[in-house]
Amino acid sequence: MSWRDYDCLNIPLKSSVQMKNKYSITSDILSFQLCRRQYGFFGVRGYQPAHVVQYWYGTILHQVLDKLHMHYQGLLDESTVERIPTDEEVEIYFNAVDDSLRARGIRAINSSLRKTAINVLKIFNALEGPKLYPNVIDTECDLQSDQGNYILHGVVDLLKEISMAKYTKDYDKVEIWDYKGTKFPDLSIKYGQEKLDRYVFQMLVYAELYKLKNGKYPLKGKLYFMNELFGNSNANETPPEAVYVVEFRDRDINEKINSALNLFSNTVTEIESNLKYDRWDPPEQQPDKETCDICDLRWNCSALTKKYPMRYP
Ligand code: SF4
């Protein structure tokens, strides 16, 4: 038999499968909304920022908190089940996480930031641990949903059972928590309310993702602003600014969630049109000063109303 015997064979080509992009609520949508240029350079093109200070702080808080929850559940060592970690144990977990971040080149910019992070974690553990840890249902919950042309993705820091809540047939007796490694936004300054609105938007999207997985909305969302604990003189009470509650048991909840999902989808469309040409222009409006102050693009950015003075070595 020669190869010519197969000449008339007609084998249909495999149709190419279009891969869907996955968009995370925090690292894509909120980052792009904050500044599309910064998102494009660091999030898409992968440039390495000179200082990853913000990333170090947020990551170490989240990872140590996760270890504290695991400690209470006895997942790291059975003997610690239902026992609140001591200050020494918080420090041991902190050092272990810090070492692993340092091995990846992510470190604190100075020792005072390191001290702030340890201090905040110890206060949180002592103040919130006894009320919170026994009611934790799950941590670092990966939630996603197929939105047709893309995948919507989010990681909820914590799910807490609220057993005392009255029975409601349309809601789970659950709170979703998100830890923020910052203070509560200052609403008296220009960008404060915008920042808070973005966090609320994030919680509304999480509520929808939760419902898609569990069939009902959670009752509440809680934003916990960890840096409100720093220097807290009253170690027995949660400072009022540390917690911001988003009530999902609201008669306009469907409308609010739909508009959050629309905003998510419009942002995806904008990201994809920028991705097509790899074009990341400065935003029309400068983001908050905190964001620009630590951005490596600040020396040459037309969005800024005031130039940063050049520093020579
Ligand atoms: S300096 Fe500010 S506006 Fe310019 S890219 Fe950086 S974060 Fe965006």
> Above pLDDT 90, what percent of the chain?
66
d(CA 266, CA 271): 9
35 domain-assigned: no
Q: What is the mean pLDDT of residues 120-130?
A: 95
311: in domain:
no
Residue whose C-alpha is closest to residue 117's, from 179, 42, 192: 179
CB distance 37 to ligand 1 below 6 Å: yes
Establish if 36 belongs to a structural domain.
no
Is the C-alpha dihedral spanning 122, 124, 129, 133 positive or negative? negative
- In-domain check, residue 33: no
Pairing of strands 217-225, 171-180: parallel
80-108 confidence digits (pLDDT tens): 999 999 999 999 999 999 999 989 888 77
Q: Does residue 245 lie within any of the structural domains? A: yes
Range 202-231 average pLDDT: 94
Output the pLDDT for position 233: 62
Q: What is the CATH number of the domain that holds 150?
A: 3.90.320
- Domain-embedded: residue 186: yes
Better pLDDT: 157 or 303? 157
Query: Is residue 11 assigned to a domain?
Result: no
55 pLDDT band, cuts 50/70/90, is confident
Instruction: Give 224-262 pLDDT, tens digit per residue.
Output: 999 999 877 666 889 999 999 999 998 899 999 999 999
CA distance to 108, 123, 176, 279, per residue, from 63 (Å)? 15, 16, 17, 34
Number of domains within the chain: 1
Asked whether residue 6 is domain-assigned, the answer is no
Report whether residue 257 contacts ligand 1, using a CB cutoff of 6 Å. Answer: no
Grouping H, G, I as helix, E, B as strand and the rest as coil, residue 182 is coil
Domain containing 72 equals 46-267
Q: Is residue 176 pLDDT above 70, yes or no? A: yes
Output the CA 301–ligand 1 centroid distance in Å. Answer: 6
Pocket test for ligand 1, best of 31, 32, 36, 37 (most atoms within 8 A of CB): 37
- Predicted pLDDT of residue 213: 93
291 lines ligand 1 (CB under 6 A): yes
Asked if 127 and 236 touch (Cβ cutoff 8 Å), the reply is yes
